Structure 1
Amino acid sequence: MTEKLFYTDPKVFEWTTEITGVFEHDDLYYVTLKETAFYPEGGGQPADLGWIGNYEVIDCIKKDEEVFHVLNTKPEEKVVDCKIDHYRRIDHTQHHSGQHLLSAICLDLFGINTLSFHLSNETATIDLDVSSLSDEQLNKIEKVVNDHIVANHKVNVFYINRDEAEKYDIRKIPEGIDRLRIVQIENIEYNACAGTHVNSTSEIGLLKLLKTEKMKGKIRLYFICGLRLLKDYTEKHQLIADLSKLLTTGQDLLLNQVEKLKEANKEKERNYTTLFNQYADLLANQIIKEQGKEKVYQIFQELTIKELGIVSQKLLENEAQLIVLGTKNENKLLITQSGNLSIDCGKIVKEEANKYNGKGGGNAKRAQCSFTNEQSLEQFVLHIKEKINI
């Protein structure tokens, strides 16, 4: 059985060992080692990645207490130098310990149990057995968690037999395991857990709550801590600095400047809408003069689908009966009719547009569809003109 260095010394990132076994399955190679620091996926914590010799470890799994390292290439050496992605490991360790502390504080402050923990390269979340959390509760949780991080509580790891569990205030005892690995945050909690953890709460780094969202009637709480929090802060700080430079204003006035730009943009949109309505009146009159009121077919180069809707309405006000308008700008089509025709615009789109890689929908009087390219849009309009009996 492989010696699991991630349990005995979780800060081992490089070591030399022997390959004890290799087998192939589905063009991948599963390698066992005499000793390994690669943590296999489990308990909400993703697997460690890294290298065995010059071979990249793309996954790490555990089965029947054995650890298997997944490679794309079969290693030929017997003795190998191994190295894990230490940034990934530290990131996972900080978030796993951060989750323990966060869950403990949610329970201690408000009696809220944690249902599950999810950790990926992008997000860290806990699902809480509660339907809502107020801003005051979230602020309190975040403050107390960070107070305990600064207090630098020691984190202890030890093993007990199952019949000894009643001696400790363990939040949840896993089923079917006789030998329990206990992670204790001194003065906070005991937790049965097989993941990697920091030596003291200060190693978690500061923890920030990001947002909540509803998940099947419960609350999913997003958080970030440690090295990932620093990376996130650095990126956001650079973004704010770039925005300040772009808008030629200080960071403290940035929000005010954005609000001014937002209002100015709304005013421009209102002015543009007024002008476009006037243009649409002229355009509708011109189209009817050229094509008549019975059927109107026209594809524009630059208009948006929203603007096609305005033109279509103007044409209807001028007693046009059938209106088919397209835009190459968005490769979209709008079909409308006055209500005096025995045709169904939505049915036309549903039954015919897919023949030209189009998709959309609508009702009898109005339907809209989109296409993958200009050619399909143009071909569909020709199809309507030539094949559909209107």
Structure 2
Amino acid sequence: MNNKLYYQDAYIHTFTARILKQEKDEAGNWYVILDQTAYYPTGGGQPHDTGTIMGQEIVDVEEIDGEIRHYLKSPLPEGTGAVTGSINWNRRFDHMQQHAGQHILSAAFEHLFDYKTVGFHLGVDNLTIDLETDNLTADEVLKVEKLANEIILENRPIEIKWVTEEELSQYALRKETKVKEDIRLVIIPEFDYNGCGGTHPKTTGEVRAIKILDWERQREKVRVQFACGDRIIKLLGEKQKVLLGLTKHLNAPEKGMETAVKRLLENDKRLEKELEQTRERLLQYEAKELLAKQNQLVAESFQNRTIQELQKLARLVVAEDDSSLVVFASVNDSRLQLVCARGASRTENMKKLISDVLPLINGKGGGNDSFAQGGGEALVSAEQILDKLITMIN
């Protein structure tokens, strides 16, 4: 553990080290192994640190077969011996805040309601824990959040202890440790005792605050989304910006925003319904007009009509006159859509009719004796394929 400087001092910003080796992995990505490092590798739900080594950007840090690999965008010059590493401190401290906050929140859930944490994810924008319960109420969330922030405000120390497996019995661990040697405990006295290999601040006060943002049931567990420290300030700023923009657009105060949005959505649904009814009436009018113009055989070409609209129009035509037969074609970009339909008093097979022309456009289709549709490449014009269909009908 002596070469893992992040365990000796989580607050370290820069360090020097010697290159032990530099090579490519199986995927052809360059990495270096150092005799010591302050870069935390991905593990335990916490992402890796970033930064630079001799000005080269680190894109990943992984511990593989006991070695910590520092993946670089490009290799360091040959013959490089001693190097300087510089940690991306904002990212490191964010991870310290979030990880310590997770310990506090998980312990609060267990203290108050005996809900154990069985999963943890720390992402760039998302921070979650999975609780071993199938239900979580708003009242429970408020109580847990209150306790967690009280622990933060008390500014309790966050202690690190290395213990043996035999010494574990001295501590009331929140969960059983997975490792059997080099066991690292993260301790908030009289509140939380937990085996953990992540980076943490020295006191709970540095977490600053915890806010539960949302929760949802997933199978037999509940996933809780939350934020800690500087992330809360960032989220508040982002949400406030959105809220202020909405107050201007909707001409409503912040407290009346929910009502204003509901009213807007209700109006939108009403307008959508009215528009759909208007479209239906227009299609009915169009169906009658096509019948009046072409009598029983209605053949028409279109531009940019959806297959759904063609189907609806064809059904309206044959419903208006059960002795009619409809063939529609529409070119949409590089696609050609076809619809064939017949009224109840006719006997032509629409599925066979459309199947006979689909090879001309490398198309596919389906349907039944009275109604069929298909589509393919626009290798011929809509008018040409209509002429072919009319010839086959006659």
Task: State the shift of 1:39 in Å.
Answer: 0.2
**Structure 1 residues 5-14 or 200-209, which shifts more?**
200-209
SS in structure 2 at match of 1:166: helix
Q: In the alignment, does 2:121 pair up with 1:118?
A: yes
Task: State the shift of 1:379 in Å.
Answer: 6.0
Deviations 1:311-355 (A, max 9, x none): 34433422455564658499895857468564559x97xx98995
Q: Distance in 1 between matches of 2:72 and 2:211?
A: 36
Check the 8 A contact 1:156/1:199 in 2, yes or no. Answer: yes
Q: 1:23 maps to what in 2?
A: 23
Q: 2:143 maps to what in 1?
A: 140
Alignment map for 1:165-176 (pairs within 5 Å) = 165-176=168-179
Q: Residues 21 and 112 (structure 1 numbering): CA distance in 2 closer, same or farther, change over 3 Å?
A: same
Q: Residues 244 and 78 (structure 1 numbering): CA distance in 2 closer, same or farther, change over 3 Å?
A: same
Which sections of structure 1, spanning at least 5 residues, go unmatched? none
TM-score by length of 1: 0.83
Q: Distance in 1 between matches of 2:243 and 2:160?
A: 42
Check the 8 A contact 2:290/2:298 in 1, yes or no. Answer: no
AA of the residue aligned to 1:270: K
Task: State the shift of 1:140 in Å.
Answer: 2.3
Check the 8 A contact 1:131/1:219 in 2, yes or no. Answer: yes
Task: State the shift of 1:41 in Å.
Answer: 0.6
Q: 1:157 maps to what in 2?
A: 160
Q: Distance in 2 between matches of 1:225 and 1:104?
A: 15
**Structure 1 residues 142-151 or 109-118, which shifts more?**
142-151
Q: In the alignment, does 2:92 pair up with 1:86?
A: no
Task: State the shift of 1:90 in Å.
Answer: 1.7
Deviations 1:106-130 (A, max 9, x none): 2222221111111221311112222
**Structure 1 residues 105-114 or 254-263, which shifts more?**
254-263
Alignment map for 1:296-335 (pairs within 5 Å) = 296-301=299-304, 310-319=312-321, 321-322=325-326, 324=328, 326=330, 328=332, 335=339
**Structure 1 residues 160-169 or 225-234, which shifts more?**
225-234
Task: State the shift of 1:254 in Å.
Answer: 2.7
AA of the residue aligned to 1:134: T
Check the 8 A contact 2:173/2:192 in 1, yes or no. Answer: yes
How many pairs are equivalent?
A: 380
Q: 1:109 maps to what in 2?
A: 112
**Structure 1 residues 120-129 or 258-267, which shifts more?**
258-267
Check the 8 A contact 2:342/2:350 in 1, yes or no. Answer: no
Q: 2:10 maps to what in 1?
A: 10
Q: Residues 273 and 103 (structure 1 numbering): CA distance in 2 closer, same or farther, change over 3 Å?
A: same
Q: Residues 321 and 31 (structure 1 numbering): CA distance in 2 closer, same or farther, change over 3 Å?
A: same
AA of the residue aligned to 2:235: D
Alignment map for 1:1-390 (pairs within 5 Å) = 3-25=3-25, 26-76=27-77, 77-294=80-297, 296-301=299-304, 310-319=312-321, 321-322=325-326, 324=328, 326=330, 328=332, 335=339, 337=341, 342-343=349-350, 355=362, 376=377, 386=388
Q: Residues 255 and 22 (structure 1 numbering): CA distance in 2 closer, same or farther, change over 3 Å?
A: same
SS in structure 2 at match of 1:285: helix
AA of the residue aligned to 2:183: L
TM-score by length of 2: 0.82
Check the 8 A contact 1:304/1:329 in 2, yes or no. Answer: no
AA of the residue aligned to 1:129: E
SS in structure 2 at match of 1:265: helix
Task: State the shift of 1:289 in Å.
Answer: 3.5
SS in structure 2 at match of 1:94: helix
Task: State the shift of 1:260 in Å.
Answer: 3.0
Deviations 1:132-174 (A, max 9, x none): 2222222322222222222222211111111100010112333
Q: Distance in 2 between matches of 1:188 and 1:353?
A: 76
